[in-house]
Structure 1
Amino acid sequence: MELQVARVGDRRLEFASPGAFDRARVDGFFFVEQPPALDLDAGDRFARNFFKDRCAHASDSDFAGYRSCTQDEVGARQGYFCRDADQTEQFFLERANWTSVFPQPLAAQAESMRHVSVMVLEFVLRELNIPHSLWHQATGGAVADDGSYHLTFNHFRPEVSARGLNIHKDSGWVTLLRSTDGGLEVQAGDAWEDVSPLPGHLIVNFGCAMEILTQSSDRPVSAVAHRVRQQLPADGSGAPDRVSYGLFVDSGLDRGQRTRLYEYADARLIDRGSPGDFVDDIVERTYETEGVGLY
């Protein structure tokens, strides 16, 4: 699948041509050039090592040994997870825990990725002429440091005979994905199309909250179903297993009346339910053996 390409300009997103964003919002995915100030080394090291045993003498020891960090320690839907229905073993962590759990360089990288992701969110709201006065309410505080931001790491175990990662849509607003290996597939009609990584770029995709907010717009944004195909065992070349990680921007998930999902129509916000309940449903469907993470 040929994706549109953007770059981070002077505190805003810039596409190569005026029509490129409209193509990207329909595709649901696009590339963004890695900003020069965004160092991805810490995230790459964590992705390659979080599932390994920690070795005191290894150069990456600070980035390994995280299998014992579970949701009992760091909170619901966080920490290390390993599910037999998928090849992935994963590590999830909310922003509130970044500085206490991650190595310091990774906590700093996570904040930098969050800034880029929020910039993308603001760009879309501006392009679709949603009044600035509604941004905070519409996004559950995500544009103003009051949303939910988490970093998710994936390690694909080719020795496990299972799907790579199940069909799903991301539940929130924007995902900023670091993926340097093939395997990501995007649904296009009745077909699945490969997204080949573009060196020096990250992948951006839109989530269901964005789709719901803009569905009555004359320029609606698509949350597109995607998956990772099953990874096959190495052919003896010594190639490392596939890894990836992403920064997810969601509404604040307090489950109270303050934070809701909205549709923007007729110059007002229409309540479409609780983001907390919505996320729970999407997550449960995604990791079911027979289910899919769609709504």
Structure 2
Amino acid sequence: MDALAPLSFAIGIVVLLVGLIVNPLVIAPLGGAITLVAAAAWARGSGRAPSAEPVQPDATGEERFTRSRLLERATLGLGGLVALGVAVPVAGFAVLPSFLGQRRRPVDLGPIAAFPEGEYVVATFRADPQAGEISQRSAYVRNNGLVGDLPSFTIMSSRCTHVGCPTQPNGPLFPHQRRAERTSGGEVALVPAQPAGFGCPCHGSQFDNEGNRTAGPAPRALDRYEFSIRNGHLSLGRLYSVSTVDGTGAQAEIRSFALKGDGEPATGPESWLYPIDPPS
């Protein structure tokens, strides 16, 4: 059994390092546990002098370490230092951004009166005005009316959840009714649409009017934006991911998750194989 300890220790280190990249919350702790158990077994086994090679006293009459025991201890210590030196930076890059977060400025889309109730509007805006055109995004916005005294909106990202290609409404757009709203973040273009779902021209993924995936390789529904109403204006907040949506409009039940990466499923065992994503 003692002979397996060094091999188990090495396997534990490998699992730990792979887990820090793939899944720091599940696989990495498993690798750490294997490493600790193997290290304890290795140290306990090396503490017993083998019967075939008795410990020899030195000239002063004191016992000394055998060469094999010294090498085992040195290997164990060196392996631990190497694992620690690699694990700490990797853990920092993989885990810390998810807990520290990143600030995102709300995006002003204009007055809520610019969004007719029950109709979709394609809003094109710059998520970061300082970054310029590279931050240009589009969202599908539908005014769901009031829920009690509070306005309700469905706001979905136009980007396909497969590899991030821009999707398109499966229905007519009305560019001649385009409106340009001047907001604190720059100009926002609003184009009415009558979609019968949304489609991705890159790989054929299809989504219904609530963003549910209906066909193609996309792993989940379209991502959605949090929103708030500020001084009568509709403001976008953080993006979040959605697995499925039951119901429609203000009565929809949304199964939401922290924002996932392109091609990453929100649920199921395969979702455990992806790294933790930093918040948007």
| TM, length-normalised to structure 1 | 0.23
Which structure has more RCO (C-alpha within 8 Å, separation ≥ 6)?
Answer: 1
Whose helix proportion is higher, 1 or 2?
A: 2
Q: Which has the larger radius of gyration?
A: 2
